[in-house]
Copies of this chain bind each other. A is one copy, B any other.
């Protein structure tokens, strides 16, 4: 029994000190056992480990963080937890980091740049070892500050022109090009785009969209491009109204590439409600390849964003920043998007004959 057991409640967590007193050793020795320091004899090591089990000892990570300067915490800031894309990223990330003993602190910025800044501040106060941000900022200032303070950080999904930062994401121009080229192959000639907010992903995709059309010599009437300022959560509603507007045009589009899958779902609803058919009258392609794309009213052709891979690669990159000695120059990992073709773009001319 430890000397202090009378005054310390039986329910308080054991400390190095308690074990030391119980075994007539110093805290230093116990600490060394904990960290597998070679100084310790086999016999002592076993005695200590035994007592640790008995007392259910767990090192106080806050105390350890204070002295080592490393918290073993990674901070993740995303615009919206409910969006399946970020859910997947968080999952992959969490799995990758767990193996090395890192925990993940999660913050949702609700697509609000000011809130995002606050959350980042909060994470910095916690002295997270690395920050992972899918940013909704329009300015790059926050990240310059991070650089000044030498806080390692990784941008995911959305990046900034002119900011040399670590980045993991898909090649968004390729996303737009892939989907649009596919629509053209499917026989569409009046192809519209429903875009997202003013972030790199949306801009990259619309650029790819333009490039694909231009390459095939197809004109893009400006009214065929609808850029929407919705957050990631209201995509379906915004896709719905955008599509309604596109259908009033003369002639209406016969193919639509949507910024993301929720938007595409909204667009699909608008098309069907107008009495038109998907894909015969209007083919629709989305982006994100959400898990349930196959179960939709018309199974949705979508560009896979590799969300799981993004999480996993981000974990790798973050760990490299932390464990790797030399502060390497910023790296970019651009994953190749993959087109997953489903019924929403399978127009007669392409449909496999039975």
Residues in A lying within 8 Å of B, measured CB to CB: 11, 13, 58-63, 65-66, 71, 73, 80-84, 87-88, 90-91, 94-95, 98, 103-108, 110, 119, 121-127, 148-150, 236, 262, 265, 268-269, 290-292, 294-297, 299
B residues within 8 A CB of A61?
A: 125-127
**In whole Å, how far is A150's beta carbon from the nearest beta carbon of chain B?**
5
Tell whether, in the assembled complex, residue B107 and residue A94 are in contact, meaning their CB atoms are under 8 Å apart. yes
Q: Which residue of B lies closest to A82 (CB)?
A: B87
In the bound complex, what is the Cα–Cα distance between A90 and B76 (angstroms)? 13
Tell whether, in the assembled complex, residue B88 and residue A82 are in contact, meaning their CB atoms are under 8 Å apart. yes
In the bound complex, what is the Cα–Cα distance between A58 and B103 (angstroms)? 21
Tell whether, in the assembled complex, residue A81 and residue B90 are in contact, meaning their CB atoms are under 8 Å apart. yes
Given contacts A94-B107, A103-B122, contact A295 B236 (CB under 8 A): yes
B residues within 8 A CB of A127?
A: 13, 60-62
Tell whether, in the assembled complex, residue B65 and residue A62 are in contact, meaning their CB atoms are under 8 Å apart. yes
Tell whether, in the assembled complex, residue A94 and residue B82 are in contact, meaning their CB atoms are under 8 Å apart. no
B residues within 8 A CB of A106?
A: 90, 94, 104-106
In the bound complex, what is the Cα–Cα distance between A122 and B119 (angstroms)? 23
- Greatest chain B CB density within 10 A among A91, A236, A268 is at A91
B residues within 8 A CB of A122?
A: 103
B residues within 8 A CB of A126?
A: 61-62, 103
In the bound complex, what is the Cα–Cα distance between A71 and B297 (angstroms)? 47
Tell whether, in the assembled complex, residue A125 and residue B94 are in contact, meaning their CB atoms are under 8 Å apart. no
Tell whether, in the assembled complex, residue A124 and residue B81 are in contact, meaning their CB atoms are under 8 Å apart. no
Given contacts A106-B104, A108-B91, A125-B59, contact A82 B149 (CB under 8 A): no
B residues within 8 A CB of A296?
A: 292, 295-297
Q: Which residue of B lies closest to A75 (CB)?
A: B103
